[in-house]
Amino acid sequence: MKNVSVQIVEMLFENPLEILEFDTPQSHGNMTIIPIIYKGKTLEFISVKEAEELGLISINETDTVSQLEVINNSDKQVLIPFGVTVHGGKQDRTIWEPILLAAGGKQNISNTNKGSMEQKYTIPAKCVEQSRWNYRKGKGFKSSSTRLHPNVAYEAISSVGQGSVWNEIQAYRTEMKYGSGIAPTQSYLEMTDNIDKETNGIVNSFRNVENQCGIATFINGEFIGIEFYSNVQVWEKMSKDILKAFAIESLRFKDKAFNEKSDLSERQLIKALQSLKLNFTTRKGIGLGEVVEFESKNKKWRGNTLVHDNSLVQFYIVSKRGGSTQTNQREQFFQTNISQRYI
């Protein structure tokens, strides 16, 4: 019998209007978004950004580059979304799967002091800063306002892929013609900071609608990806960061010609989703729920979602356009090196 989580995700692609409602498209330059309203079961949780602001969560370095330690002291469930980046420690990292921490932490609980309990999780991470391995301000991390843009996110959706993430960041650096004085440690966060003025201009041109929880995005008239949540308040907290990630993609293709009069509509979006031929895999989440990953048979699209209590906590899918074309052999070389260097 097919996994229930996979069935829910398949339903979204087969009949999107069973789960989603689409509002009127909004456009700025070569970027168009269609606001998404989630019709499925809404869940109560807060974002990692809100938990940090309230002093209820901490993210710390470990001895392994591919793992971080999270301590959750919130009395609410906390979502660490796929694609969120954290700054600090010995290298900036990205979290490569969506993670929903139970209220107060209910897994991997370790007794650290007599009479007290500390709720710890070990979570998977990938490096987005290749040329630094030293502390600047201690072992702690803070989530940043920079999410992975689609090409880098596409490579991060995998249990391997560290080398491919680096390759894609370097390809992005070349595309944007950043000089050697920009991000000398190859920090993706510092590279994207360099275009904050442009991305903020794009982000501020869009507005949230009532009950919005996500967006579908078109760049140069082509469907590029979707991200949404089962919680409106979390979307509101994360929306500018998510729009910024797609705005980076907009700037990558700003000089490419396209048909500005093309009619980007709900009908076209539904057709695009239904046309995807996907393979699905599933596994237990680090915290609550199950992670469902999917990839198109033509290797152009990748995505993941966290399914908990029959609801899509976070849904994400993007396509890869241009960028790095490194081979699998090159990827294996990077994986070997990173194992020898850090673990």
- DSSP characters for 233-301? HHHHHHHHHHHHHHHHHHHHTTTS---TT----HHHHHHHHHH--EEEEEEE-SSSSEEEEEEETTSSE
Of residues 213, 159, 290, the one with CA closest to residue 37 = 213
Cβ atoms of residues 189 and 147 within 8 Å? no
List b or e across 260-271, with b for residues whose CB sees 16 or more CB atoms inside 10 angstroms.
Answer: eeeebebebbbe
For the entire predicted model, the pTM comes to 0.90
Quick one: pLDDT at residue 326? 64
Quick one: pLDDT at residue 79? 97
* Domain total in the chain: 1
Cβ atoms of residues 126 and 71 within 8 Å? no
| Beta strands, E only, 12-115 | 20-22, 26-28, 31-38, 46-47, 57-61, 67-72, 78-80, 84-88, 93-95, 99-101, 109-113
Cβ atoms of residues 79 and 139 within 8 Å? no
Quick one: pLDDT at residue 323? 84
Rg (CA), the chain: 19
| Full domain range(s) for residue 95 | 4-342
Quick one: pLDDT at residue 110? 38
Spell out the per-residue pLDDT of the chain, length 343, in tens: 679 999 999 999 999 999 999 999 999 999 999 999 999 999 999 999 999 999 999 999 998 889 999 999 989 999 999 999 999 999 999 999 999 999 874 444 333 443 344 578 999 999 999 988 888 877 889 999 999 999 999 999 977 779 999 999 999 999 999 998 999 999 999 999 999 999 999 999 999 999 999 999 999 999 999 999 999 999 999 999 999 999 999 999 998 888 776 778 899 999 999 999 999 999 999 999 999 999 999 999 999 999 999 999 999 999 999 888 764 434 433 332 333 333 3
Quick one: pLDDT at residue 67? 93
Cβ atoms of residues 319 and 300 within 8 Å? yes
